[in-house]
């Protein structure tokens, strides 16, 4: 088996990749966040592994130096709601708490992780399990056929129907967009883990097989991981434009990825009737932006530029959800969901991934609703270009909201 030195460096690379993919709108390298136990990890790693039962330890010991020193990094078009990942990072003590942490969604996930001690957290990070479901969907779920949404498929009908409605509603070319799910149970699929490991870390076949066996052993040993079905593994949703990536087979189509974990969270909070449609509508808004080139902006400040595109996606979403020829949802119900959606931890006002304050985002959504409400009388659907132009003109007023 190939041995790679400096496990600490590999761990930092792996965790940095998670932040790299999941918290940026225009992907660029980010500073890594030190996970729990990372300080001095090279010296105490063996002690941590030796604390496991002898039979389990025998399988793990040869794999202490798994992975390569750096993973492949590509400049890809990815638009993702970084608030979800921020919650995960705070729950795992990767960053300090803030006044944004005490939200319903945060508290729910915190309760779901009540039985995760430092050891369980440590192995989840070291093994890469927090990232593998994302990369599996990101690189390999390249068809809408056969997809199911929710761990048991409970959101399949509402999600697929909403996707078809959005394709009909907006005037962009959406035939090539793949709607796919992110499932944590892919961690049980040895071949899927092997192929991702070889791409991310450049490992040879033998090392990748050992890595996959490590993950299977961890899933078997720690019931807290729920065989990959714990919501933390799929606590996200994102949109990505198409790109060419030979290591994964070549052309990767444009996608919307819906994670089981984020759908489970909103369902637990009582929003299973609106969350799939609302999240999907927001991500579809990013695809409108991809196609119309709306990520190109004269705004030079990264935080302000991201706030603009996120608030625009909020407005696109609210317009569709409340339009008489869209999802025809009652605005009061949509508003209840959005209040939770917009209050999930985005306090990074100077961060390049800043999405806008909750009040700013709600102002954008309410504006989208008002535009839809005005159109009810004549049943008109604005084109995506017309809507964008109206939003751009309104943006200064929306941003002026505290």
CB 104 within 8 A of CB 269: yes
204: exposed, middle or buried (C-beta count within 10 Å: 0-12, 13-18, 19+)?
Answer: exposed
Phi, psi of 23 (to 5 degrees): -125, 5
Average pLDDT, integer, range 213-227: 92
Question: What pLDDT, on the 0 to 100 scale, is given for residue 13?
Answer: 35
CB 1 within 8 A of CB 210: yes
**CA angle at residue 168 from 163 to 174, to 5 degrees?**
70
In a domain, 38, yes or no: no
In a domain, 192, yes or no: yes
101 or 140: whose pLDDT is higher? Answer: 140
**CA angle at residue 156 from 89 to 345, to 5 degrees?**
20
In a domain, 49, yes or no: no
CB 338 within 8 A of CB 318: yes
* Domain containing residue 228: 57-62+77-400
In a domain, 222, yes or no: yes
24 or 111: whose pLDDT is higher? Answer: 111
Average pLDDT, integer, range 89-93: 61
In a domain, 5, yes or no: no
SS in 3 state form for the chain?
CCCCCCHHHHHHHHHHHHHHHHCCCECCCCCCCCCCCCCCHHHHHHHHHHCCCHHHHHHHHHHCCCCCCCCCCCCCEEEECHHHHHHHHHHCCCCCCCCCCCCHHHHHHHHHCCCCCHHHHHHHHHHCCCCHHHHHHHHHCCCCCCCCCCCCCCCHHHHHHHHHHHHHHCCCCCCCCEEEEECHHHHHCHHHHHHHHHHHHCCCHHHHHHHHHHHHHHHHHCHHHHHHCCHHHHCCEEEECCEEEHHHCEEECCEEEEEHHHHHHHHHCCCCCCHHHHHHHHHHHHHHHHHHCCCCCCCCCHHHHHHHHHHHHHHHHHHHHHCCCCCCCCHHHHHHHHHHHCCCCCCCCCCCCCCCCHHHHHHHHHHHHHHHHHHCCCCCCCCHHHHHHHHHHHHHHHHCCC
Phi, psi of 174 (to 5 degrees): -110, 10
Smallest Cα–Cα separation from 179: which of 146, 144, 140? 144
The span from the CA of 139 to the CA of 62, in Å, is: 29
306-361, pLDDT tens digit by residue?
A: 888 999 999 999 999 999 999 999 999 999 999 888 876 455 444 444 556 788 89
Question: What pLDDT, on the 0 to 100 scale, is given for residue 255?
Answer: 96
Smallest Cα–Cα separation from 77: which of 177, 187, 183? 177
In a domain, 30, yes or no: no
Smallest Cα–Cα separation from 72: which of 205, 197, 242, 236? 197
CA distances for 402 relative to 158, 203, 350, 362, 399, angstroms:
35, 49, 15, 11, 8
In a domain, 254, yes or no: yes
Q: Range with the lowest mean pLDDT among 96-105, 288-297, 333-342?
A: 96-105
173-203, pLDDT tens digit by residue?
A: 999 999 999 999 999 999 999 999 888 778 8
At 58, the pLDDT band (50, 70, 90 cuts) reads: low
At 22, the pLDDT band (50, 70, 90 cuts) reads: very low
Domain count, the chain: 1
Reported pTM = 0.81
259 or 12: whose pLDDT is higher? Answer: 259
């Amino acid at each position: 088996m190939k041995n790679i030195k400096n496990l600490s460096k590999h761990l930092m690379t792996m965790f940095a990749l998670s932040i790299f993919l999941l918290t940026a709108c225009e992907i660029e390298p980010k500073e890594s966040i030190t996970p729990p136990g990372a300080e001095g990890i090279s010296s105490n790693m063996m002690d941590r592994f030796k604390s496991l039962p002898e039979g389990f330890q025998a399988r793990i010991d040869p794999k202490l130096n798994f992975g390569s020193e750096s993973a492949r990094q590509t400049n890809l078009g990815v638009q993702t709601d970084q608030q979800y990942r921020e919650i995960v990072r705070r729950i795992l003590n990767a960053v300090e708490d803030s006044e944004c942490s005490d939200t319903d969604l945060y508290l729910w996930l915190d309760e779901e992780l009540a039985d995760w001690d430092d050891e369980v957290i440590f192995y989840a990070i070291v093994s890469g399990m927090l990232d593998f479901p994302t990369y599996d969907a990101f690189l390999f779920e390249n068809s809408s056929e056969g997809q199911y949404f929710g761990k048991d498929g409970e959101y399949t009908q509402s999600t697929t129907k909403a996707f078809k409605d959005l394709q009909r509603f907006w005037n962009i070319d959406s035939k090539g967009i793949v709607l796919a799910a992110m499932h944590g149970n892919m961690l049980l699929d040895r071949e899927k883990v092997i192929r991702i490991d070889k791409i991310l870390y450049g490992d040879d076949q033998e090392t990748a097989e050992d890595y996959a066996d490590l993950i299977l052993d961890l899933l078997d040993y720690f019931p807290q991981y729920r065989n990959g079905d714990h919501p933390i593994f799929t606590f996200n949703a994102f949109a990505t434009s198409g790109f060419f990536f030979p290591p994964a087979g070549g052309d990767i189509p444009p996608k919307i990825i819906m994670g089981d974990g984020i759908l489970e969270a909103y369902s637990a909070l009582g929003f299973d009737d609106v969350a799939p449609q609302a999240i999907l509508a927001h991500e579809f808004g990013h695809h409108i932006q991809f196609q119309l080139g709306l990520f190109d902006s004269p705004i030079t400040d990264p935080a302000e530029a991201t706030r603009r595109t996120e608030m625009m996606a909020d407005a696109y979403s609210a317009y569709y959800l409340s339009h008489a020829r869209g999802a025809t949802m009652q605005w009061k119900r949509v508003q209840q969901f959005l209040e939770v959606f917009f209050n999930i931890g985005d306090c990074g006002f100077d961060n390049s991934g800043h999405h806008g304050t909750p009040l700013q985002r709600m102002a954008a959504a309410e504006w989208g609703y008002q535009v839809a409400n005005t159109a009810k009388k004549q049943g008109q659907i604005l084109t995506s270009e017309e809507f964008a132009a109206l939003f751009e003109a309104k943006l200064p007023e929306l941003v002026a909201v505290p």
